[in-house]
Amino acid sequence: ILNEYYKFFIGIAFFRFLDWGLYSIIVSLSPINYLIVQLGNVFIFSIAKFLYSKKILEK
């Protein structure tokens, strides 16, 4: 179970890093309101996190 936990932890940390990076790039390069960017990121990355978690926990 620790192996699955580590995979989950690393995966979620990676998604958080991608979320932060994408948010920073979009906000700095475009006039889009930061709240709209964050809501878009929440939608995109929640789906990605769910699918990743599902894959790990189904094994």
pLDDT digits 0-9 by tens, 4-31: 889 999 999 999 999 999 999 999 998 8
Give the pLDDT score at 15. 94
H runs (alpha helix) in the chain? 2-29, 34-58
pTM, two decimals, is 0.76
Instruction: Give the max Cα distance, the chain.
Output: 45
Does an H or E element contain 1, and which? none
Residues 34, 38, 26: CA angle, nearest 5 degrees: 60
3-state secondary structure of 32: coil
> Average pLDDT over the chain, rounded to whole?
91
